[in-house]
Amino acid sequence: MKAYKNIFLSVMLFAMMTGMAAAEVLMPFVLASKTSGGDVQQIAGEVKGKLTGAGFEVVGEYSPYNGASVIVVTNDELKTNAGKSEHGGFGAAQRVGITKNGDDVEVIFTNPVYMAAAYRMEGDLAGVRSALDSALGSMQDFGSEKDLTAKDLRKYHYTVMMEYFDDPSELAEYDSYEAGVAAVEAGLAAGKGGAAKVYRIDVPGKKETLFGVALKGTNAEDCSGDEYIMSRIDKATPRSTAHLPYEILVTDDEAIALYARFRIAINWPHLPMMKSDTGATFMSIMCAPAAIEEALEEVAGG
């Protein structure tokens, strides 16, 4: 009888531990380090060295505005997982932001485990998170005041009538995958929609390519622009610069993008609709989702 009791208690303890693990609250970003009085470009160079030393491939980098730099990386685990997941190309990259914030320079990166859940990927990318922690450090997970678990993120949308992960912007259709890749390359090279190429990742084992797209805007008031949007909503500390850049995914014979009301909300899930102490609200960038979609459509030739 005692043996059965011990087995029962062990099973119950295992179930409780499994449930606790499944209910872990996830955050979109990780603050890796903070340096007082540092130089953004110098620290960005150091970060690149650490990333390549840890086995990551730096596929692109850019400065979306003064005092900020973004480095984009991939590795075999990211690309392999992307190949096994529907529209998994969106999760083939991780982004690192280096930002001057007051007297400090912050190094942050996207949380691969959070993104794997939000993008409904096959694996949880815990190995990628561990590699980034080891390479860059891990002071603090941040970016959400919502208690979002992996289960929550797999069905996430900001609010009623707003898009889910599987409600992308359909940018263009082509005669073939190869024609689609060529069209996006040409659109980026021509600077259509005020856009520029940051990186390209070809997903192994499928006809799928992810492009990172810098959106400069066609003028200062173009609300598709990276600086326009971030100046209005990225006001907390640490900064969330690794939200950028946006993406176009060529998959088979079409080009798609995560609709901006999902793509922005997944990185600011607690951003209020209409009122905040800092003025950071979705209403402050109300014009951005449609403007981003239009810019990306121009790039894709839609």
pLDDT bucket at 106, cuts 50 / 70 / 90? very high
Q: What is the pLDDT averaged over residues 287-294?
A: 97
Give a yes or no: residue 116 inside a domain.
yes
| pLDDT at 108 exceeding the cut of 80 | yes
| pLDDT at 101 exceeding the cut of 90 | yes
Give a yes or no: residue 7 inside a domain.
no
Give a yes or no: residue 182 inside a domain.
yes
| pLDDT at 232 exceeding the cut of 60 | yes
Peptide bond into 168 cis (omega under 30): no
Give a yes or no: residue 87 inside a domain.
yes
Q: How many domains would you assign to the chain?
A: 1
pLDDT bucket at 279, cuts 50 / 70 / 90? confident
pLDDT bucket at 23, cuts 50 / 70 / 90? confident
Give a yes or no: residue 15 inside a domain.
no
| pLDDT at 1 exceeding the cut of 60 | no
Q: Tens of pLDDT along 31-63?
A: 999 999 989 999 999 999 999 999 999 999 999
Give a yes or no: residue 186 inside a domain.
yes
What are the tokens at 181?
A: 């890749």
Mean pLDDT of all residues in the chain? 93
CB 294 within 8 A of CB 180: no
pTM equals 0.91
| pLDDT at 103 exceeding the cut of 90 | yes
82 lies in which domain range? 26-156+163-300
pLDDT of residue 236: 95
| pLDDT at 149 exceeding the cut of 60 | yes
| pLDDT at 18 exceeding the cut of 60 | no
Work out whether the CA dihedral 151, 296, 198, 177 comes out positive or negative.
positive
The residue behind tokens 């997941």 is: 85
pLDDT bucket at 141, cuts 50 / 70 / 90? very high
User: Long-range contact list for 270-273, CB < 8 A, 24+ apart?
Assistant: 270/144, 270/145, 270/146, 271/233, 273/159
- Of 23, 30, 24, the C-alpha closest to 141 is 30
| pLDDT at 242 exceeding the cut of 80 | yes
Q: What is the pLDDT averaged over residues 139-161?
A: 97
| pLDDT at 220 exceeding the cut of 70 | yes
pLDDT of residue 20: 46
pLDDT bucket at 153, cuts 50 / 70 / 90? very high
Tell which wins on pLDDT, 120 or 22: 120
Give a yes or no: residue 16 inside a domain.
no
Give a yes or no: residue 201 inside a domain.
yes
CATH of the domain at 54: 3.30.310.70
pLDDT of residue 275: 85
| pLDDT at 209 exceeding the cut of 60 | yes
pLDDT of residue 199: 98
Q: What is the pLDDT averaged over residues 251-264?
A: 98
| Helical residues (DSSP H) of the chain, grouped into ranges | 2-22, 40-53, 76-84, 112-118, 126-136, 150-153, 177-189, 226-233, 260-263, 288-300
